[in-house]
Structure 1
Amino acid sequence: MLRFSGNNLQITSMSVATTSYRRSAETQERVEETEWHRVVLFGRQAEIAQQYLKKGSRVYLEGRLRTRKWEKDGQTHYSTEILADTLQLIDRKSDVVGGGQSYAPQSSGDGFESPAAPRRSEFTSGAPAARPAAPAQPAAPVPSAAPTDDFEADEIPF
């Protein structure tokens, strides 16, 4: 669901599943393990996710973790979510015309960010990708459109 912050920044939240496989120690059978993650996207990436992603879409995300804490009915609740900095669509070529596209915010120097031009990714035909191919040039770190935290590095307990 696409929503807007007080300063008109687009925000969307979604659940993303990661699946891994291992061999059972007892039966030697292949066991599938799926984990679900909450992901929050901001700005143009939120729009792109809302427009192009659907259930089952393959996506590569990079970002940082944020854990929120709240009280409800006397119980303390925690939720960890990924604040995504990079969104890359990695569906197979047959599923997406033109192959994968990557969207990473780029700073224009005025404190606002604009989306990067889509980048093409390499795919192996028909095989599910465990990871997307590396971009041709390493991406320079860019500031996130996500709100900044109100704590200093010295306050982190680990």
Structure 2
Amino acid sequence: MMNRVVLVGRLTKDPDLRYTPNGVPVANFTLAVNRTFTNQQGEREADFIFCVAWRRQAENIANYLKKGSLAGVDGRLQTRSYDDQDGKRVYITEVVADNVQFLEPRSAASQDRGGDFGGSSFDGSGQRSQGSSYGDQRNQGYTRTDEDPFSNDGQPIDISDDDLPF
């Protein structure tokens, strides 16, 4: 059996961080994910997908992601149900996030939404697995997203035919 979901989209509002009665953090958020095709009016539609994250990852999401943040979510699809106040059964389908990637650099988030986060990833344990901090002088050899590393600087590119994959 396989149950895997991979999404890239923007948060529709700030994440909602709560705690269970046992003190376990849980964050709920919704991703707006564009569809790959356009409608009859030529506009691109989006799906709004509910996501949930637990423990340290939930706290990181609440601290670093805001409304409009671009994020990648890797997780599994889950369906659950509960009885509402009227006694009616309510079914919810959501993505339980195993890994959330923060896909915008810190500088872009600060300019657009006033956030303060980098292109970082936190796995299910809450450990930072990658990232960069623009302006951090310790990060040597990084490429800013607004600079094209393949731009023509006027010099010929020296590549041996043995290095080509075809």
Question: What interval of TM-score do these two structures reach, taking the shorter chain for normalisation?
Answer: 0.5 to 0.7
Q: Which runs of 4+ in 1 moved over 6 A?
A: 121-124
- Which structure 1 segments of 5+ residues have no match? 106-113, 127-158
Aligned to 2:159: none
Deviations along 1:88-131, whole A, 9 cap, x unmatched? 100146415784100003xxxxxxxx4223403898835xxxxx
**Alignment-mate amino acid for residue 125 of structure 1:** T
Q: CA deviation at 1:75?
A: 4.0
8 Å CA contact retained: 1:15, 1:39: yes
8 Å CA contact retained: 1:60, 1:88: yes
Deviations along 1:51-86, whole A, 9 cap, x unmatched? 111111000011111111234446432110111110
State TM-score, norm by structure 1.
Answer: 0.60
CA distance in 2, matches of 1:98, 1:42: 19
Match of 1:90 among 103, 128, 141: 103
Q: Does 1:17 align with 2:36?
A: no
Higher RCO (CA 8 Å, separation ≥ 6 residues): 2
Structure whose CA Rg is larger = 2
**Residues 39-58 of structure 1 mapped to structure 2, 5 A cutoff:** 39-58=51-70
Aligned to 2:42: 30
- Which structure 2 segments of 5+ residues have no match? 1-15, 110-115, 133-141, 147-166
What is the total number of aligned residue pairs between the two structures?
115
SS in 2 for 1:95: helix
Q: CA 1:62–1:54 in 2, change beyond 3 Å: closer, same or farther? A: same
Could you say which structure has the higher helix fraction? 2
Aligned to 1:103: 122
**Identical columns (%):** 30
Q: CA deviation at 1:6?
A: 2.9
SS in 2 for 1:30: coil
